[in-house]
Amino acid sequence: MKTEVQEQIKKEFDERATDSAFECSFYTRDLAPVPDFLVDPLFKTRPDMVVRPQNTAEVAQILKIADENRIPVTPRAGGSTVYFNSIPTRGGILMDLNLIKGIKALNKDEMTVTVRAATTWSELEEYLNRQGLAAKSYPSSAPVATIGGWFSMMGYGVGSLKYGNLLSQLRSIKVVFPAGEIKIITSETSPSLDWFACAEGTLGIITELELEVRSFTPMCHYLLQVHETKSIASIITTLKDAAVKPYNLHFSDKYYNQAMRKLGFTAGQIEDANIIAVDYEGEESELKEAAEIVAAVVAGNKSVKMLNKNIALKEWEERFKALKLKRGGPSQLGAEICLPIEKLGLYLKEIDKVSSIYRLGLTSYGHVVDRGHLTVMTMFYADETKKVSYVIGLSLVKKIQDAGYKYGGYPYGIGLWNTPYLKRIFTPANLAQIRTRKKTVDQKNIINPGKVYKWPFLFHPLTFSLGCNVMAATRRICGKGEKR
Amino acid sequence: MTATKDLFTTLEQETLICGRCGYCRSVCPVYEVIGWESSTPRGKISLAREIFAHGKRNKLGEDFVKRLDQCTLCGACANVCSTCIDTRSLWLELRKRVADEGLAPEAYVNLKNNLITNKNISTFSNSDRLEWAEDLDEEPEGLELEEEADVCYFVGCVSSFYPQAAQVPLAICEILMQAGINFTTMGGEEWCCGYPLVSAGFVKDAEPFIKHNVAKIKELNIHTLIASCATCYHFWKHACAEELKGYNLEILHTTEYLARLIKTGKIQFDELDEVVTYHDPCDLGRNGGIFAAPREVITSIPGVELVEMQHNRSNSLCCGGGGNLQSVDPALAGHISALRVDEIKETGATIVVSACQQCEQMLSAGIREAGLKVRVMDISQLLQEVLL
Ligand SMILES: Cc1cc2nc3c(=O)[nH]c(=O)nc-3n(C[C@H](O)[C@H](O)[C@H](O)COP(=O)(O)OP(=O)(O)OC[C@H]3O[C@@H](n4cnc5c(N)ncnc54)[C@H](O)[C@@H]3O)c2cc1C
Ligand code: SF4
Ligand code: SF4
């Protein structure tokens, strides 16, 4: 990036722009613990500068300069993603959007709220609750995830089963396009809203979103202990298809629960079993009916036991804290897969196999996100201070992806690290379509380049697969690994 | 379930455990003001991981030390941490490592030297500790070093030496006298609790302070100690526990003791027609777990309406005055206090009450700066005003 341009931005943005090497170094990683020696030779993750615009006009001002000078711009909000989605691959400008936050307007008649893009879901929820309202859904990283960030990802999480993904709840967004043009986008405009859902910040920068909200309602929580792993999918299916739709429905397998217990995190009497948590919200009559549905599931299935209400409540209260399992690591590797619900049993069986072949001690949990799918996170412990075994561990993530793929699953989120799986995520027609969209909107490829559309040279699916398999074989032959 | 505090292992291990989720960022008042990722708990832990767990010692530079010192030790990050890291212990350990490397800022080194010389954080002689008592209408019997008194009041450096804060011990003495309590203080034998040294990274230097104070308490055969400074209270309760092993000492914050006096009918109050809001000091509330007692005390005054701020109890915002921040970056401390003042304003209260002289000093300055017509009082001063 040219020094004059850097100086110009610094002058215009004063203390909200920096090119200090120290400051810029904090934007080079996300949650993914990928060692420097694997990243640095391939990508320039350190931005040349970081700028913190505070409104739409300033976003446009930066994009205009970037476009004129062909400088890559990486948008970043909560920075809570894991595939380098908000990490630069070619240096340039890191646009830290966190000053663009707060509630802009609430329309109680229309039941919509307009928020600035970097408002977190917890901030929005806190605000709405004070008004007797609530968000229809939110990610299970609500304390950090921003409204704009989640929309740019897949937008599935807590509440999606009942209310749909975020795209279906959005009325409009304000977008700044690469050359600095500002537009309001709805489902009727061209481009339309759906272009931006899952675009991972590659088409433009979203500064405002208008979304639907719901009334704040009472909730009830149930926790079911399920001894037979093969029953999980059928119980989940019964619950999701029942007359009252759960607000949240998730499971954790017995290995996950064992690991939690080992760490002292299990409240009360959870035995050595799988867990299904089901949470409802709505009118009292709806909750009453839900109670009957859950009771019938328990009565009709010998493998199922209902746990104490307090433990169920605790499980709900801890819904943002899945990461605490990491205490057993210190590092954790894994993959999140979007899977057809009916294939869950087969997937978990396959995971059992992978776990014992590679001695990985795999643990899984997942959320039902719509009537047909759940997102399953399967993980294993690692230690990033032990370089060789850690790199081999990284390659084994593909084995989890493969188990998912075998049963119709695909990675949840793309960023940089999941680009080798693009052909699993998209049909050829879909892939061609999103590539055309990118070309239409961002001819110079300056917005968040290196992500989503193409794998980098060394990540070609064939080379990638070969590399991973060689390392996996090494582990299979010599690895000590974990026992479950 | 295991408590977060008990889970802390080593600095290296905890930095590796951190998942870099950023939950801590959303609640950190320092990040709220500074805005760069380097000021977030997540950012600082990531770099600490590089330096200490991955052995990249060359990254331990001035910039990083500055960021480590720009922290009020409010504990908000520990409260939300998704991997249950006791980040407050982690920050203290990091400051210790920095001090061990000889990289502590000059302000901290001066603070240490002064403490070692004077035994208190002011430049006054420690024998003047009870000067504030000259303003009492009548000095109670046994105010200084009375053996076997029922209660020993640990006044703390700020309240002992700074005139504005000295109103707190004056109020407490008046209440205790009215309630007929047989109490004493350690007078010139009270040394700083030691917390300013620990929070500056000079952990070893704090040991003589802990030992001295505990020895005096034992010598006086005292079995109930009360502190009006939230930090002294927290330090006595936790950092002195090891030294107090085997000795029966009940350690209470004055709010807890006052609540007890009210419950047993030892003090009664006149009516007060005011809207009051309560600011939870971090070391008393979030880090000390005491939320109910101060609220019970305030609502026991007839006529008082207690309104909560948007962030209260364990989610309370810091006043900006903790962690020695004022000694290294007073402007940052002032900006943080302004965030809290905004919330005070929102409540419409005419009085903001707290239970820590440091919070009160920060909030008074912030309220003055904002031009608000709100009185800032310690909970004991509020009671003193309505004492029957
Ligand atoms: C414990 C935990 C639980 C999680 N649970 C979920 C979950 O339930 N569902 C889920 O989908 N994800 C989940 N995630 C992943 C992640 O937290 C979410 O996807 C989150 O919504 C990302 O938001 P962010 O603000 O952190 O975005 P960032 O990580 O900052 O950015 C995400 C992507 O969006 C782009 N972007 C961000 N803001 C904008 C904007 N305003 N305009 C244009 N582009 C933008 C970035 O360039 C990047 O590509 C979880 C993560 C953790 C750690
Ligand atoms: S203790 Fe408080 S000021 Fe320090 S990093 Fe944590 S939240 Fe920020
Ligand atoms: S909340 Fe905890 S795990 Fe998450 S980034 Fe902060 S310190 Fe790390």
Are the C-beta atoms of A276 and A232 separated by less than 8 Å? Answer: yes
Is there a cis peptide before residue B140, judged by omega within 30 degrees of 0?
no
Q: Is B282 in the pocket of ligand 2 (CB under 6 A)?
A: no
Q: How many residues does chain A have?
A: 484
Contact B161, B128 (CB under 8 A): yes
**Which of B378, B148, B353 is CA-nearest to residue B254?**
B378
Question: Within a 10 A sphere around the Cβ of A62, how many other Cβ atoms?
Answer: 23
Mean pLDDT of A448-466: 85
More confident: B141 or A33:
B141
Of all ligands present, the nearest one to the C-alpha of A30 is 1
**What is residue A100's predicted lDDT score, i.e. its pLDDT?**
98
User: B-chain residues within 8 Å CB-CB of A327?
Assistant: 7, 17, 83-84
B61 close to A (CB below 8 A): yes
| Predicted model pTM | 0.96
Distance from residue A62's CA to the centre of ligand 2 (Å)? 31
Nearest residue on chain B to A50, alpha-carbon basis: B36
To the nearest whole Å, the CA of A435 is away from the closest chain B CA by 30
Give the rounded distance of the alpha carbon of B286 from its chain centre: 11
User: Which residues of chain B neighbour A265 with C-beta distances below 8 Å?
Assistant: 1-2
- The chain-wide mean pLDDT, for chain A, equals 94
Ligand nearest to the backbone CA of A141: 1
- The Å distance, Cα A374 to ligand 1 centre, comes to 18
Query: Min CA distance, B287 vs chain A (Å)?
Result: 20
Q: How far is the CA of B100 from the centre of ligand 1 (A)?
A: 39
Q: What pLDDT, on a 0 to 100 scale, did the predictor assign at position B5?
A: 64
**Interface contact B37-A26, CB threshold 8 A:** yes
Q: Report the pLDDT value the prediction gives residue A32, as an integer from 0 to 100.
A: 87
Give the minimum alpha-carbon distance from A433 to chain B in angstroms, rounded to a whole number: 32
Instruction: Kindly tell me if the per-residue pLDDT of A484 is higher than 80.
Output: no
Question: In chain B, whose CA is at the least distance from the CA of A119?
Answer: B26
pLDDT of residue A269: 65
Task: Using a CB–CB cutoff of 8 Å, tell me whether A340 touches chain B.
Answer: no
Q: Which of A249, A36, A61 is nearest to B50 (CA)?
A: A36
CA distance B27 to chain A (A): 9
Residue A33, pLDDT score: 82
Note the pLDDT tens digit of each residue in A100-114.
Answer: 999 999 999 999 999
Pairing mode, if any, of strands B375-378 and B351-354?
Answer: parallel
Contact B38 A23 (CB under 8 A): yes
Q: Is ligand 2 within 6 A of the CB of residue B74?
A: yes
What are the φ and ψ backbone dihedral angles of B36, each rounded to 5 degrees? -90, 150
In the reported structure, the alpha carbon of residue B39 is separated from the centroid of ligand 2 by a whole-number distance in angstroms of 9
Asked if B23 has any chain A CB less than 8 Å from its own CB, the reply is: yes
**A482 pLDDT higher than 80:** no
Q: Which atom of ligand 2 is nearest to the CA of B72?
A: 3
Give the pLDDT confidence score for residue A154 in this predicted structure. 86
For the stretch A199-208, pLDDT in tens is: 999 999 999 9
| Proportion of chain A above pLDDT 90, given as a percent | 88
ipTM, 2 decimals? 0.96
Report the alpha-carbon distance of residue B269 to residue B253 in Å, rounded.
20
Per-residue confidence (pLDDT) for residue B3, from 0 to 100: 59
Q: How many CA atoms lie within 13 A of B63 on its CB side?
A: 16
Lowest mean pLDDT among A341-350, A468-477, B234-243: A468-477
Confidence of residue A457 (pLDDT cuts 50, 70, 90): confident
The answer to whether the CB of B9 is under 6 A from ligand 3 is no
Of B201 and A266, the one with more pLDDT: B201
pLDDT by residue for chain B (388 residues), tens digit each? 545 668 999 999 999 999 999 999 999 999 999 999 999 999 999 999 999 999 999 999 999 999 999 999 999 999 999 999 999 999 999 999 999 999 999 999 999 999 999 999 999 999 999 999 999 999 899 999 999 999 999 999 999 999 999 999 999 999 999 999 999 999 999 999 999 999 999 999 999 999 999 999 999 999 999 999 999 999 999 999 999 999 999 999 999 999 999 999 999 999 999 999 999 999 999 999 999 999 999 999 999 999 999 999 999 999 999 999 999 999 999 999 999 999 999 999 999 999 999 999 999 999 999 999 999 999 999 999 999 9
Mutation test residue for ligand 2: of B4, B28, B326, the one with most atoms within 8 Å of CB: B28
Q: Which ligand is nearest to the CA of A322?
A: 1
Ligand 3 site, residue B286, Cβ cutoff 6 A? no
Q: How many CB atoms lie within 10 A of CB A111?
A: 14
Q: Is A293's Cβ below 8 Å from some Cβ in B?
A: no
B152 lines ligand 2 (CB under 6 A): no
Measured between CA atoms, the residue of chain B closest to residue A19 is B36
Which one of B35, B43, B47 has the shortest CB-CB distance to A99? B35
A409's tokens: 């699953």
pLDDT band at A128, cuts 50/70/90? very high
Q: Are A327 and B17 contacting, i.e. CB atoms less than 8 angstroms apart?
A: yes
**What does CATH list as the number for B108-261?**
3.40.50
User: A327, B83: Cβ pair inside 8 Å?
Assistant: yes
Q: Are B2 and A263 in contact (CB < 8 Å)?
A: yes
User: In this complex, is the C-beta atom of A122 within 8 Å of any C-beta atom belonging to chain B?
Assistant: yes
Q: Rounded to a whole number, what is the distance in Å from the CA of B260 to chain A's nearest CA?
A: 31
For chain B, the structural domain boundaries read: 5-103, 108-261, 268-386
Residue A253, class by beta-carbon neighbours within 10 Å (0-12 exposed, 13-18 middle, 19+ buried)? buried
- Average pLDDT for residues A452-471, to the nearest whole number? 80
Which residue has the CA at smallest separation from atom 2 of ligand 3?
Answer: B81
pLDDT at A465 over 90: no
pLDDT (0 to 100) of residue A386: 93
- Whether A263 and B47 lie within 8 Å, measured CB to CB: no
Across the interface, whether the CB atoms of B63 and A22 are under 8 A apart is answered yes
Residue A372 touches chain B, beta carbons under 8 Å: no
Mean pLDDT of A173-200: 97
Q: Give buried/exposed letters for B192-230 (b at 16+ CB in 10 A, else e).
A: bbbbbbbbbbbbebbeebbebbbebbeebebbbbbbbbb
DSSP characters for B208-254?
HHHHHHHHHHHHTT--EEEESSHHHHHHHHHTTTTTTTTS--EEEEH
Nearest protein CA to atom 2 of ligand 2, as residue: B74
Are B16 and A143 a contacting pair at CB < 8 A? no
How far apart are alpha carbons A148 and A121 in whole angstroms?
A: 10
Contact check, Cβ <8 Å, A52/B16:
no
pLDDT of res. A1: 84
Residues with Cβ < 8 Å from B288, sequence gap 6 or more?
A: B230, B233, B234, B237, B253
Q: What domains lie within chain A, and their CATH numbers?
A: 3-96 (3.30.43.10), 103-215 (3.30.465.10), 219-323 (3.30.70.3450), 329-478 (no CATH)
Provide, as residue numbers in chain B, all residues whose Cβ is less than 8 Å from the Cβ of A96: 35, 37
Chain A residues within 8 A of B82 when measuring between CB atoms: 143, 320-324
The phi, psi pair for A227, rounded to 5°, reads: -75, -40
Residue-wise DSSP of A226-293? ES-TTHHHHHHHHHHHSSSPPSEEEEE-HHHHHHHHHTT---S---SSEEEEEEEES-HHHHHHHHHH
Specify the CATH architecture of the domain B268-386: 3-Layer(aba) Sandwich (3.40)
Is B42:B20 a contact under the CB 8 Å cutoff?
A: yes
CB–CB of A27 and B35 under 8 A? Answer: no
CB pair distance less than 8 Å for B16 and A27 = no
| Ligand lying nearest the CA atom of residue B282 | 2
Residue for token digits 């948007």? B310
- Could you tell me how far CA A155 lies from the centroid of its own chain? 8
CA triplet A63, A69, A72: central angle to 5 degrees? Answer: 60
Q: Do B108-261 and B268-386 have matching folds?
A: yes
pLDDT above 60 (res A122): yes
Residue A478 has pLDDT above 80, yes or no: no
Residue nearest to atom 1 of ligand 2 (CA): B73
Ligand 1 centre to CA of A150 (Å) is 5
User: CB–CB of B36 and A50 under 8 A?
Assistant: yes
CATH 1.10.3720.10 fits B5-103, yes or no: no
The nearest CA of chain B is from the CA of A431 a distance in Å of 30
